[in-house]
């Protein structure tokens, strides 16, 4: 065998050994980083679990990405509990129902606590109902257990302007309500039946979520709003407080340490952090710009 062949074989063997030591080095670096950061940031979330937080603000509507994130959360053992932070005047009935059902699924697998901000009314109150414990500020505006359907009718103005609207429908109630003509008695009754059915669904949610008899809920379900203090007295809210009080309750009643970090639902920060770390690791393993002697001088134990 020629000297050149021997050198080629030795070089290949050296490269294989180098690749192995690169992998070992990367694993060591990942372990060191994880141990260093385990009490802070994303590494702590990965290693020690976390408390999830869902912020519900503004108008509540259907949101498929949010609902999928909650379905994923329900299966995530790293999330020890969920805090639902609400500051919303309400939204669509279907949007509130969708979020209510998604949160109810989470509540089957882990503790859920609701924390109300300045406003948590109507659908904003509805989405607090799956929570095992509801906190509100004394000045929180909440309640408004009701459903509203509004329409504007200006046929009188059109008549004075000499404007006449025509509608051809496939059913006598198809254009009820309409801005171009007054509601008929039949149309009003049909729409009222829809509103009452939606209202009854809301009342059942409150009755179930707050463990209150429906007649007791109906007394409060006339659309009135309440302050946080009034809501506590009416049993619609459990206690006065914010996120700190919610964390204290989770620690005392559910064994969820207050030292755990909070991670917002849908926050990609953890995944991005891990992806960057793994990408850098792959680059360190495969980057041929690292010289053979340089890597051996840094990592190879035989040179120490």
- 49, 60, 70, 144, 297 from 126: Cα distances, Å: 28, 10, 17, 10, 64
Mean pLDDT per segment of 10 residues, for the chain of length 304 residues? 55 58 56 49 56 95 94 94 96 93 96 96 96 97 90 81 82 82 88 90 95 95 95 97 97 95 74 49 44 28 40
SS3 21: helix
- Looking at residue 161, its pLDDT comes to 84
- The confidence score (pLDDT) of residue 121 equals 94
CB proximity list for 71: less than 8 A, separation 6 or greater: 102, 105
CA dist 249 and 269 (Å) reads: 27
DSSP, collapsed to helix, strand or coil, labels residue 116 as strand
pLDDT at 270: 46
d(CA 52, CA 262): 6
Omega within 30 of 0 (cis) for the link into 180: no
pLDDT of amino acid 266: 75
Strand 225-227 to strand 133-136: parallel, antiparallel, or no bridges (unpaired)? Answer: unpaired
Hey, which bits of 63-154 come out as E strands?
Answer: 79-91, 112-121, 133-136, 141-143
d(CA 142, CA 225): 6
Distance of CA 98 to the CA centre of its chain: 12
Compute φ and ψ for 295, nearest 5 degrees. -65, -40
pLDDT tens figures, 95-108: 999 999 999 999 99
Instruction: Tell me the catalytic residues.
Output: 122, 174
Residues in CB range of 8: below 8 A, 6 or more apart: none
Residue ranges, CATH 3.90.226.10, the chain: 50-144+224-260
User: Which of 96, 91, 95, 140 minimizes the C-alpha distance to 115?
Assistant: 140
Report pTM.
Answer: 0.72
Give counts: helices (H), strands (E), the chain: 12, 8
CATH number of 50-144+224-260: 3.90.226.10
Model pLDDT, residue 32: 52
Reported for 257-260, long-range contacts at CB under 8 A and 24+ positions apart, including other chains, are 260/48, 260/49, 260/50, 260/51, 260/80
CA dist., res. 101 & res. 132, Å (int): 14
Distance (Å, rounded) from C-alpha 212 to C-alpha 207?
5
- Cβ 254 vs Cβ 51: under 8 Å: no
Q: In a 3-state reduction of DSSP, which class is residue 174?
A: coil
Do the beta carbons of residue 92 and residue 122 sit within 8 Å? no
Which residues fall within 8 angstroms of residue 241, CB to CB, at 6 or more apart?
A: 115, 135, 136, 137
């Amino acid at each position: 065998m020629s000297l050149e062949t021997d050198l080629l074989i030795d070089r290949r063997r050296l490269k294989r050994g180098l690749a192995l030591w690169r992998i070992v080095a990367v694993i060591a670096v990942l372990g060191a980083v994880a141990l260093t950061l385990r009490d802070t940031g994303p590494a702590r979330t990965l290693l020690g679990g976390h408390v999830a937080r869902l912020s519900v603000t503004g108008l509540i509507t259907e949101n498929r990405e949010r609902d999928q994130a909650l379905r994923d959360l329900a299966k995530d053992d790293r999330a020890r509990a969920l805090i639902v932070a609400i500051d919303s005047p309400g939204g669509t009935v279907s949007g509130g129902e969708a979020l209510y059902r998604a949160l109810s699924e989470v509540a089957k697998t882990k503790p859920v606590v609701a924390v109300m901000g300045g406003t948590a009314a109507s659908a904003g109150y509805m989405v607090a109902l799956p929570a095992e414990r509801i906190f509100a500020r004394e000045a929180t505006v909440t309640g408004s257990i009701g459903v509203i359907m509004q329409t504007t009718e200006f046929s009188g103005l059109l008549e004075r302007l000499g404007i006449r609207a025509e509608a051809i429908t496939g059913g006598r109630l198809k254009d009820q309500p309409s801005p171009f003509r007054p509601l008929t008695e039949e149309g009003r009754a049909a729409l009222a039946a829809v509103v009452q059915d939606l209202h009854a669904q809301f009342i059942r949610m409150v009755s179930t979520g707050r463990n209150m008899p429906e007649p007791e809920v109906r007394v409060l379900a006339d659309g009135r709003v309440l302050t946080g203090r009034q809501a506590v007295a009416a049993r619609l809210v459990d206690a006065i407080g914010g996120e700190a009080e919610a964390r204290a309750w989770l620690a005392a009643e559910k064994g969820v340490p207050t030292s755990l970090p909070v991670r917002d639902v849908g926050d990609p920060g953890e995944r991005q952090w891990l992806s960057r770390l793994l990408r850098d690791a792959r680059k360190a393993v495969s980057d041929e710009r690292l010289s053979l002697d340089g890597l051996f001088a840094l990592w190879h134990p035989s040179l120490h």
